[in-house]
Structure 1
Amino acid sequence: MMLWLAIPLTALLYLLVKKLARRLKSPLVNPILLPALAIIGLLLLTGQDPADYQAGTRPLSLLLELAVVAFALPLYQQAAKIRRQLGPILLCCSLSVLISVGTTLLIGGLVRANPALLASIATKSITTPLAMSVSQAMGGIPAIAAGLVIIVGMMGAILGFPLMRLAGIHHPEAQGLAMGAGAHAIGTGAAAEVGTVQGAFSSLAMVVCGIATAVLAPPLFHLYLWFMS
């Protein structure tokens, strides 16, 4: 039954939470987090096979892959601004990756974490397909990497803009870069809802940080293993 109800149920929950979010204006009312929790709860209560739900939402997954291409539109619209600031943008994104991966390895070293677990955590701030691929190349567990990416993205989408407002960060370009670098595609979706500039710069940061992580994370991880041996 879940096979046939998957798409209507997903769409209905998303639209309901989206409408509720417009009324309450609370970052906790997230149209990705709450429907996901509701569906998980429903599957557990009814004993339905998650594989049936996954198979039922396959058309949505295919559309999602195509929808990612839409992130190119705000990039094109903001191309002039991006070209003028390309150097600082690349520098900021590279530093973001170094900080993200470096702090993960540093904390992991202090607590003597399992290397496979560290390899899975180090890719937490990039998109799921890249995170799974890079993590696996370093000897990590792709399933853990994917789960952490989703958790980090949701946390960024919920807390990102409130935290930036508290910190006095109001520049739209800076906000966009922070969301894309820290919360990848889910954060980029949240940034695009705030403004076109935020969405464009978040898309750019997501792409640049993904590439930078694929390049920088493996040598940093192997350097960590050498140092700890």
Structure 2
Amino acid sequence: MMFWLAIPVTVLFYLLTRKLARRWHNLLINPILIPALLVIGLLLATNTDPSEYEAGVKPLSLLLELTVVAFALPLYQQAAKIRSRLKPILLCCGLSVVISVGTTLLIGGIIHADHSLLASVSTKSITTPLAMSVSESMGGIPAIAAGLVIIVGMMGAITGFPILRLAGINHPEAQGLAMGASAHAIGTGAAAEAGNVQGAFASLAMVVCGVMTALLAPPLFYLYLWLTG
């Protein structure tokens, strides 16, 4: 039964949450977080196998791939701005990756975290397929990496812009870079809703940080292993 209800239920939960978000403007009423929690609750209440629900929403999953490709449109629209600021953009994305991976390893070293867990957590700020692949190459657990990516993305989409405004960061390009670098595709979606400029720079940061993490995370991780013996 859930196979046939999966798409209608998912769409209904999403539309209801969007309507509530427009009415109350509460950070916790997030169109990604709330529907996900409702679907989890429904599956638990009905004792439904998650694989049945996953099979039912397969068409939506295929549309998601097209949606990610559509992020290229704001990139094209802002191409001139991006070219004129390419060096500082690359520098900011590089520093973001080093800080993200470095702080993870530093905290992990302080609390003596398991190496496989550290390898899984280190890729938390890039999109799911890359995070799973890179973490696995370092001996991590892809499932944990994927779960953390989703959690980080949701947290970024909910709290990203309020934190940026609180810090006095109101420039749309800076906001976009921060959202894409820290909250990958989910944060990029939130940035695209804020404006075309934010969406374009978030898309760019998501791609650049993904590539840089794939290049920098393994050497940093193995350097950590060497230093900690």
Shorter-normalised TM range: over 0.9
Mapping of residues 149-228 of structure 1, within 5 Å: 149-228=149-228
Normalising by the residue count of structure 2, what TM-score does the alignment of the two structures yield? 0.99
* Cα distance in 2 between the residues matched to 1:169 and 1:23: 26
User: How far off is 1:191 after superposition?
Assistant: 0.4
Q: What does the per-residue CA deviation read over 1:49-102, in whole Å, with 9 as the maximum and x for residues that have no partner?
A: 111000101111111111111000000000000000000000000000000000
Corresponding letter in the other structure for 2:15: L
Q: 2:30 aligns to what SS in structure 1?
A: coil
What residue number does 2:129 align with?
A: 129
Q: What does the per-residue CA deviation read over 1:133-183, in whole Å, with 9 as the maximum and x for residues that have no partner?
A: 000000000000000000000000000001111111100000000000000
Gaps of 5+ in 1: none
Mapping of residues 81-96 of structure 1, within 5 Å: 81-96=81-96
* Cα distance in 1 between the residues matched to 2:66 and 2:156: 23
* Cα distance in 1 between the residues matched to 2:64 and 2:85: 30
Q: CA RMSD in A?
A: 0.5
What residue number does 1:51 align with?
A: 51
User: How far off is 1:204 after superposition?
Assistant: 0.3
Mapping of residues 95-134 of structure 1, within 5 Å: 95-134=95-134
* Cα distance in 1 between the residues matched to 2:224 and 2:108: 10
Identity %: 77
What residue number does 1:145 align with?
A: 145
What residue number does 1:63 align with?
A: 63
User: How far off is 1:38 after superposition?
Assistant: 0.3
* Cα distance in 2 between the residues matched to 1:27 and 1:199: 19
Does residue 35 (structure 1) correspond to residue 35 (structure 2)? The answer is: yes
User: How far off is 1:228 after superposition?
Assistant: 0.9
User: How far off is 1:9 after superposition?
Assistant: 0.4
Runs of 4+ in 1 over 4 A off after TM superposition: none
Corresponding letter in the other structure for 1:141: I
Gaps of 5+ in 2: none
Corresponding letter in the other structure for 2:135: S
* Cα distance in 2 between the residues matched to 1:165 and 1:114: 36
Mapping of residues 9-20 of structure 1, within 5 Å: 9-20=9-20
* Cα distance in 2 between the residues matched to 1:189 and 1:88: 23
* Cα distance in 2 between the residues matched to 1:48 and 1:212: 39
* Cα distance in 1 between the residues matched to 2:132 and 2:175: 26
Q: 2:198 aligns to what SS in structure 1?
A: helix
Q: 1:198 aligns to what SS in structure 2?
A: helix
User: How far off is 1:23 after superposition?
Assistant: 1.1
Normalising by the residue count of structure 1, what TM-score does the alignment of the two structures yield? 0.99
* Cα distance in 1 between the residues matched to 2:79 and 2:163: 27
User: How many residues matched?
Assistant: 229
Q: 1:170 aligns to what SS in structure 2?
A: coil
